[in-house]
Amino acid sequence: MEGTAARQRAVAAIRARVLGVGTGSWFSDAEHVQLAIASAMGVAGELVPVLFSGAVQTTARPHAAALAITEDEWKALFGADVRPFRESNVAKCAARPACADVLARLERALRCTTSEASEGRAWQSMWSRLAVYIALHTASPQPLIASTLGNFVGGDSRRLEELAVELDDEGVDTLMLAEVLDCMSRTVA
């Protein structure tokens, strides 16, 4: 029950920040979560226009740092002890070739972390994998990944950073990332 209360507090805090910058009064809670997560991403400038109208982009852009999801909110929404409200479309998103490729590369990069017993169990969940996929695109992925999987083994740091650079060099698939973000936000809000 504490997990549900923590999730509700996280969504309420995100909603208050979004409303506080003068946008999103018509948003669903899932859309509030999407904007908070997108604001924490290095590709926010490309991602927010895919998810939201021009007016939202214009209003949100100067407040991206204030809107960005916090580590505590991430843990409440996507932590290792959290279960989604619903998992509709999770398997479908994860099965898309572009997403499946990144998930396979993530698994190789996180081989030390996922070889640990509890972290390996967490990684088996497609929901957790997609949360890690999203976390990879944020400014500080390691603490978010640690929250989602239960721990992060430092030996994976360099491989994770290299993967992030490779994906950036290849060009992040913004449409796929937006689809995953939309899917995952609807599982928690």
Structure confidence by residue, pLDDT tens digits, 49-72: 899 888 888 888 899 999 999 999
Q: Give me the percent of the chain exceeding a pLDDT of 90.
A: 75
pLDDT at 13 over 80: yes
Q: Which one of 78, 109, 141 terminates a domain?
A: 78
Based on the fold, state whether residues 60 and 105 are members of the same structural domain: no
- What is the total count of domains within the chain? 2
User: Would residue 49 count as lying in a domain?
Assistant: yes
Based on the fold, state whether residues 99 and 73 are members of the same structural domain: no
Dist CA 189 CA 179 (whole Å): 16
Query: Distance of CA 187 to CAs 27, 58, 78, 87, 112, Å?
Result: 16, 27, 10, 6, 28
pLDDT at 1 over 70: no
pLDDT at 100 over 70: yes
Based on the fold, state whether residues 73 and 97 are members of the same structural domain: no
Supply the pTM of this predicted model.
Answer: 0.94
User: Would residue 83 count as lying in a domain?
Assistant: no
Based on the fold, state whether residues 113 and 173 are members of the same structural domain: yes
pLDDT at 169 over 80: yes
pLDDT, position 23: 85
Based on the fold, state whether residues 64 and 100 are members of the same structural domain: no
Based on the fold, state whether residues 113 and 156 are members of the same structural domain: yes
Mean pLDDT across the chain: 92
Structure confidence by residue, pLDDT tens digits, 22-47: 887 889 999 999 999 999 998 878 88
Among residues 124, 134, 122, the alpha carbon closest in space to that of 183 is found at 134
pLDDT, position 181: 95
Based on the fold, state whether residues 120 and 42 are members of the same structural domain: no
User: Would residue 98 count as lying in a domain?
Assistant: yes
Q: Which one of 30, 47, 78 terminates a domain?
A: 78
- CA dihedral sign, ordered 134, 80, 145, 45: positive
Structure confidence by residue, pLDDT tens digits, 110-129: 999 999 999 999 999 999 99
What residues make up the domain containing 49?
2-78
pLDDT, position 189: 86
User: Would residue 85 count as lying in a domain?
Assistant: no
Structure confidence by residue, pLDDT tens digits, 139-161: 999 999 999 999 999 999 999 99
